[in-house]
A = this chain, B = another copy of it.
Amino acid sequence: MKGRLLIAETPRHIGETVTIAGWVSVRRDHGKLIFLDIRDRSGSVQAIVLPSAGPAYEAAQEIRSEHVVAIEGLVKERPGGAEKAGSALGGIELEISAIRTISAPAETLPFEISVPELDLNLDTLLDHRTIALRNARLQAIFRIYSTMLSAYAARMRAADFLEIKTPKLVGSATEGGANFFTVNYFDRKAYLAQSPQFYKQAGISIFERVFEVGSVFRAEPHFTTRHVNEYVGLDAELGFISDFSEVMDELEATIKYVFAEIGKERASELALYGAALPADVPIPRLRLSEAVDILRESYGKEIEGGDIDAEGERMIGEYVKEKFGSDFVFLTHYPTALRPFYTMPSADDPSVTESFDLIYRGLEIASGGQRIHDYAQLSESIRSRGMNPDDFASYLDVFRYGCPPHGGWGLGSERIVQKLLGLGSIKEAILYPRDVKRLSP
């Protein structure tokens, strides 16, 4: 829209008549004066219209919440007493000389969105997702999310990773079977990719270092606060590693960079949640077996089957926060039986693997490790799990012709924001989440 000034720029135009455009968040009629709070993508400002404004005053009688308007007005400093504390634009108001309705709502909103905090249960929030997101506090989640995406890609590129895009439609349910959605693909079946694992391993055999930001589909019928059936994965894979600690080093540097960028770019959004960035201390690395001992000794919790459950992750999160002042912990050396067939067993104890999970404030946000790069070893690992290497022929081609030692991670983008802001459910960190019951809006 030509001639439009963003609201955030109005303080530089005091004493000038400008045109802004946006939504009416609130309209207050004080008899003689009408107040309109106008918001655009840059911020929010109060505008007033006096009876002396003539046609503009008449027009303001018809204006309601969520009307989209263009307003011409004089930018003024607000008298000190009327200043809104805590708002960068609180010191400014617009004295309206003209109003034009760009788009009038057909209906009034089913609930009030111009409140500091919407009080809706999760289902209502998600049923009315697009409307609810008119609320500034909810928008903050996705402004932070956008910064996270850009910071992740920037850090990966700076470390010489090439961005790749790999197919989400795959011909076989490769990684071992369950939890794939099936797709009717012309005259046969396809599957939705559960991870870009095989393709990013192929990627390092070509480009050494690759990353991908892409859709991940999991057909698991979960009903938890931390699972959804479609999410955005932040994947990376790097070749020529000496051991899997280099993978953790790279992930640690990346995650710290991402949080630092969020802190720089999104301070006001973080403030809406009273959210603190994680402490910038080295991330402790504990063997899973040590964590199991800690849970038993310090929390009286027995772990069955070798893997730590969600409660155990929360406890270990508390433990490392208290002991190391860290919001994160790497749990390492998961049992071979609990990891996929491509995971590198430890040389000194093949019952465990050169693998890790990264826990952030008690929630697993990433999983990774070193992969087997030797063709014969990999074929044997497939056989040892009761599978047939012939079913993995094109994947095995990656290793048949010379592949360097490598590893990588899969990082869940939404969980990062969920835990940073203390959101009750991962679904709040997704614009339009998908779960067993929810495929819309």
A contacts, CB < 8 Å to B: 1-2, 4, 21, 23, 40-41, 66-68, 102-109, 128-131, 133-134, 139, 142-143, 145-146, 149-150, 153, 157, 160, 162-172, 181-186, 188, 190, 192, 199, 202-203, 205-209, 213-215, 217, 219, 221, 229-230, 232, 240-242, 246, 373-376, 394-395, 397-405, 413, 430-434, 436, 439-441
Residues from chain B with Cβ under 8 Å of A67 in the complex:
402
User: Would you call B168 and A149 a contact (CB within 8 A)?
Assistant: no
From B130, B153, B192, contact of A153 by CB (8 A): B153
Q: When the two chains form the complex, which single residue of B104, B165, B208, B217 contacts A431, counting CB atoms closer than 8 Å?
A: B165
11 A-B contacts (beta carbon < 8 Å)? A21-B404, A103-B374, A106-B400, A107-B401, A165-B430, A167-B434, A182-B184, A186-B436, A190-B439, A199-B432, A214-B215
Task: From the candidates B23, B131, B403, name the one contacting A397 in the complex (CB within 8 A).
Answer: B131
Copies in the complex: 2
Q: How far is the CB of A78 from chain B (nearest CB, A)?
A: 25
Q: List residues of chain B with CB within 8 A of the CB of A395.
A: 441
Residue pair A206, B133 in contact (C-beta under 8 Å): yes
- Would B163 and A432 count as touching, CB distance under 8 A? no
Chain B residue nearest in CB terms to A143: B162
Known contacts: A185-B181, A431-B165, A440-B172. The answer to whether A105 contacts B405 by CB under 8 A is: no
Chain B residues with CB under 8 Å of A128's CB are 397
Cα separation A202 to B133 with both chains bound (whole Å)? 10
Q: Are A402 and B230 in contact (CB under 8 A)?
A: no
CB of A164 within 8 A of CB of B142, answer yes
The answer to whether B68 touches A402, judged by C-beta atoms less than 8 angstroms apart, is: yes
> Within the complex, which residue of B134, B182, B207, B374 is in contact with A142, where a contact is CB–CB below 8 Å?
B207
Query: How far does the alpha carbon of A405 sit from the alpha carbon of B169 in the complex, in Å?
Result: 36
Does B168 lie within 8 Å of A142, measured CB to CB? no
The answer to whether B68 and A441 touch across the interface, beta carbons within 8 angstroms, is no
Give CA–CA (A337, B259) in the complex, Å.
Answer: 49
> Which 4 A-B pairs give the minimum distances between C-beta atoms?
A171-B439, A394-B441, A41-B208, A66-B402
One of B404, B431, B434 near A68 (C-beta < 8 A): B404
Cα distance, A405 to B21, chains bound together (Å) = 11
Q: Smallest distance from the beta carbon of A65 to chain B beta carbons, Å?
A: 8
Determine the distance from Cα of A230 to Cα of B81 in the docked complex, in whole angstroms: 59
**A41 is contacted by which of B66, B207, B373 (Cβ under 8 Å)?**
B207
Contact A166-B397, Cβ < 8 Å, known A130-B206, A192-B183: no
Residue of B nearest to A208 (CB): B41
Most chain B CB within a 10 A radius of its CB, from A108, A182, A402, A404:
A402
How far is B164's CA from A145's CA once the two chains are assembled, in angstroms? Answer: 8
Please name all residues of chain B whose beta carbon is closer than 8 Å to the beta carbon of A203 when the two chains form the complex.
431
Pick from B185, B241, B397, B402: contact of A104, CB under 8 Å: B402
Q: Which residues of B contact A165 (CB under 8 A)?
A: 145, 149, 215, 232, 413, 430-431
How far does the Cβ of A192 sit from chain B's closest Cβ, in whole Å?
7
| Contact partners of A129 in chain B: CB under 8 A | 202
CB < 8 Å: which of B167, B184, B439 contacts A169?
B439
Contact B168 A157 (CB under 8 A): no
